[in-house]
Amino acid sequence: MIEVNSLAKGFGDVQALSDVTFKAENGQITGLLGPNGAGKSTSLRVLYGLVKPDTGTAVIDGVDVIADPRAAQSKIGVLPDNQGLYVRLTARDHINYFGRLHGIDENLLENKANELIKLLDMASIADRRVDGFSQGEKTKVCLARALIHDPPNIMLDEPTNGLDVMTARAVRELISELKRRDITVLFSSHLMHEVARLCDQIVIISDGRVVAQGTTDEIRNQASEDNLEEAFIKLVEAI
């Protein structure tokens, strides 16, 4: 379970977060929806343990991220928005490196890596260097290294951004699969249809604060609109 409470964070003159409070329940898919620059990535970075909020708390499975970032980090798998890869390493090298950083036993590592390679359908590229990979192939490597330690919580920052239709669909299927495995999934997106179709819960962020939270129906009701997109625009512009 992921919980944030009244997060606020400023970078110099820019107030990135003013008041962000939401909860992502176990075994549910929670979508962070908001325009660009609304504070989705900053909120996630607080949860990754990379950014310290000025005020507020972030808790993952009962662990305070700010007080004990390493313990919290061991409970999460992350697909950050910068999908940086080491160009001279193979896909498998990446998976192994991150697995070892999480302290996975060497004997288990190979099996786990093979399982993920099969799950993500990347056997043909597993032992190639990532230099020259397509955007979709790179995303698969990033997903594999985020999942190698079987995290109970997954956070994905705009996971389908820049992907072709086939890979975007594969990613959405993976997200559903993770839910079936009773994993807490929190992902950000600015694609309405994606969020509407996948999520159990939607959190709408605008200008550094949460403007609405609930199921698609609840959000439509809150804005008194039949269409989610109309509801989104109404809620965001209300600020």
Partner 1 sequence: MHPIRVVLGKELLDGRRDRRALMSAFIFPLMAPILVYAMMSAMINLRAQAEETIIPVIGIEHAPHLIAWLKEKNVSVEAFEGDAQAAVRDKKRDLVVIIPQDYEQRMAKAKPVAIELVSDGSRTDALPTVRRFEGLIRRYNNNLASLRLIARGVAPEVMRIVVVEDIDVASKQQRAAAALNFIPLYIILAAFISGMGIAVDSTAGERERKTIEPLLINPIERHDIVIGKWLAASMFSCLGMVLTLILCVLAMSQVSLEEIGLNFHVTGDQIVLMIIATLPLGFLASSMQMLLGIFAKSFKDAQSYIGILTMLPMLPFLYLTFSPIASQDWMYLVPLLSQQILLSEVLGAKAVPLIAYFYSTASGLIAGLGLVMITARLFQKETIIRG
Binding residues for partner 1 restricted to 141-180, rule: CB under 8 A? 142, 145-146
Among 1, 8, 50, 233, binds partner 1 (CB under 8 A): 50
Q: Which of 10, 12, 8, 16 is nearest to 37 (CA)?
A: 16
Residue with smaller CB distance to partner 1, 41 or 201: 41
Binds partner 1 by CB under 8 A, chosen from 4, 7, 39, 98: 98
Q: Does 36 bind partner 1 (CB under 8 A)?
A: no
User: Is residue 107 part of the contact set for partner 1 (CB under 8 A)?
Assistant: no
Using the rule CB under 8 A, is 84 a contact of partner 1? yes
Q: Which residue has tokens 């160009």?
A: 87
The burial of 118, by beta-carbon neighbours within 10 Å (0-12 exposed, 13-18 middle, 19 or more buried), is given as: exposed
Residue type (1 letter), 54: D
The residue among 108 and 238 lying less far from partner 1, judged by its C-beta, is 108
* Residue closer to partner 1 (CB basis): 93 or 212: 93
Q: Which residues pair with 60 in a beta bridge?
A: 2, 63
Considering only 8, 21, 35, 97, the residue that binds partner 1 (CB under 8 A) is: 97
- The residue from 89, 119, 191, 233 that contacts partner 1 (CB under 8 A) is 89
CA atoms of 145 and 90, how far apart (whole Å): 12
DSSP 34: -
**Residues that contact partner 1, how many (by CB under 8 A):** 35
| Nearest-angstrom CA–CA distance, 55 and 35 | 23
Six-digit token string for 239: 């600020």
Please give the helix or strand (H or E) that residue 171 lies within, else none. Answer: helix 165-180
Cα distances from 144 to residues 119, 141, 148, in angstroms, run 9, 5, 6
Q: Least distance to partner 1 from the beta carbon of 91, Å?
A: 14
Q: Determine if 87 is a binding residue for partner 1 (CB under 8 A).
A: yes
Q: How far apart are alpha carbons 179 and 94 in whole angstroms?
A: 24
Q: What is the DSSP letter of 90?
A: B
Q: Is 76 in the site for partner 1 (CB under 8 A)?
A: yes
Interface residue with partner 1 among 40, 43, 48, 159 (CB under 8 A) is: 48
Interface residue list for partner 1 (CB under 8 A):
45, 48-52, 69-74, 76, 78, 80, 82-89, 93, 97-98, 100-103, 106, 129, 142, 145-146
